[in-house]
Chain A
Amino acid sequence: QVQLVQSGAEVKKPGASVKVSCKASGYTFTSYDINWVRQGTGQGLEWMGWMNPYTGNTGFAQKFQGRVTMTRDTSTSTVYMELSSLRSEDTAVYYCARGKEYDTLIAHYLPPAGMDVWGQGTTVTVSS
């Protein structure tokens, strides 16, 4: 079945970096964007950015520009999100979610349809 499986919980000190993985299965990995969304404890959802696994293109919310990096490994169908210069406010559950479908034959996106498949979430705790 279509699923996204994320790496396990992380505990980091302020100023460090964290790298979270998101492994896709059950569909053509390069045909859909992967988005990252985070949720602080008891808080709402916050979109961080996206990656197109086929082209490698990325886009980030301005809030995270310069601190977030997204990469992929097509051989393992995995997308990685790395967040640097961590501070206590980055303590949250980080989710990956499948987004827009990309037609690789015509190099064009289909009309977007929300984020239809989500990973189970990765808890990142930033504490000294």
Chain B
Amino acid sequence: EIVLTQSPGTLSLSPGERATLSCRASQSISSSYLAWYRQKPGQAPRLLIYGASSRATGIPDRFSGSGSGTDFTLTISRLEPEDFAVYYCQQYGSSPWTFGQGTKVEIK
């Protein structure tokens, strides 16, 4: 099973600032089958990025993904109020699909 480790656990930033979230895999993820999700309190997760760097439908361009192999990054260029939430990475290249433990982006 591929273990995903996200860092940091919590990121304290102000609106308008840049956020950089990391996701490291215990083994290489095939074909960069790595996704990022945002989850607001009391809501279902929402797909932001798939294939490590492709934005999902309707996702604004302030969200970008990069990386390959075992190291992946989600960058939010300018934080909007709705971006203060928990972010999860997920790999879907190898069964069982697994999620990272999450990074909480909170208002500083």
Closest approach, in angstroms, between the C-beta of B47 and any C-beta of chain A? 5
Q: Establish whether residues B45 and A118, one from each chain, have CB atoms under 8 Å apart when the complex forms.
A: yes
B63 interfacial by beta-carbon distance below 8 Å: no
Q: Establish whether residues A115 and B47, one from each chain, have CB atoms under 8 Å apart when the complex forms.
A: yes
Per-residue 0/1 for A35-64: is the Cβ within 8 Å of any B Cβ (1 yes, 0 no)? 101000000111100000000000101110
Q: Establish whether residues B47 and A114, one from each chain, have CB atoms under 8 Å apart when the complex forms.
A: yes
Q: How large is the interface on B (under 10, 10 to 19, 20 to 34, 35 or more residues)?
A: 20 to 34
Report the Cα distance A101→B38, complex, angstroms.
22
B70 interfacial by beta-carbon distance below 8 Å: no
User: Residue on B with the closest CB to A96?
Assistant: B44
Can you list 15 A-B pairs with a CB-CB distance of less than 8 A?
A: A37-B45, A44-B88, A45-B37, A45-B99, A45-B102, A61-B97, A63-B96, A95-B44, A95-B45, A112-B33, A114-B47, A114-B56, A115-B90, A116-B47, A121-B44
